[in-house]
Amino acid sequence: MPNFSKQAVFAGGCFWGVEHLMQTARGVLDVQSGYTGGELENPSYEQVKTGTTGHLEAVCVTYDPAHINYETLAKLFFEIHDPTQTDGQGPDIGSQYHSAVFYADDEQKQIAEKLIKILKQKGYKIATKVLPLQTFWPAEEYHQDYYARKGTQPYCHMRVKRFD
């Protein structure tokens, strides 16, 4: 990736749908599905899907800050999954599908907390956690660009406008 790029890591249920919808944003250079938040090094999908590793299915979004900023990406994240669901997303239930923003620095943390505060003021009961970024482990190749390769659309992710 170009040296001017930045990264953001989000977990919003099954990574396929989050990856697919994040890729649509102008200024996004790459989105990679993977795992973060757990203790096991280099976990596999087979391990993470058990819900016992502490990892969440997540995406690492590489973006060009000249075309999109972190706040815009974070707003998109909160609009493409249900940040109020406490044990997964849609039909995908389990701790590996929890909602979380993994911040790399104080600015990302403050933005995520600000957006959660706005959503709470609008009456949403936000379940999304704001956590320090840990190692992001890329998922297996067959998980990357899943919907683009299958030619289908996400089954549990769609955009719902929550911000003005």
Q: Is there a catalytic annotation at residue 14?
A: yes
Report d(CA 146, CA 54) in Å as an integer.
23
Q: Which helix (H) or strand (E) holds 18?
A: helix 15-22
Cβ atoms 92, 82 nearer than 8 A = no
User: What is the maximum span of the chain, computed from C-alpha positions, in angstroms?
Assistant: 40
pLDDT at 94: 93
pLDDT at 45: 96
Closest CA to 130 of 9, 31, 48: 9
Closest CA to 60 of 109, 110, 6: 6
Q: What is the pLDDT along the chain (164 residues), one digit of tens a residue?
A: 556 889 999 999 999 899 999 999 999 999 999 999 999 999 999 999 999 999 999 999 999 999 999 999 999 999 999 999 998 888 889 999 999 999 999 999 999 999 999 999 999 999 999 999 999 999 998 888 877 777 767 777 878 899 98
Closest CA to 38 of 129, 133, 126: 133
Catalytic member of 11, 14, 58, 74: 14
CATH superfamily of 6-150: Peptide methionine sulphoxide reductase MsrA (3.30.1060.10)
Report d(CA 32, CA 15) in Å as an integer.
9
Cβ atoms 101, 133 nearer than 8 A = no
pLDDT at 132: 97
Q: What's phi and psi for 82, nearest 5 deg?
A: -95, 100
What would you report as the CA-atom Rg of the chain, rounded to the nearest whole angstrom?
A: 15
Cβ atoms 115, 71 nearer than 8 A = yes
pLDDT at 1: 52
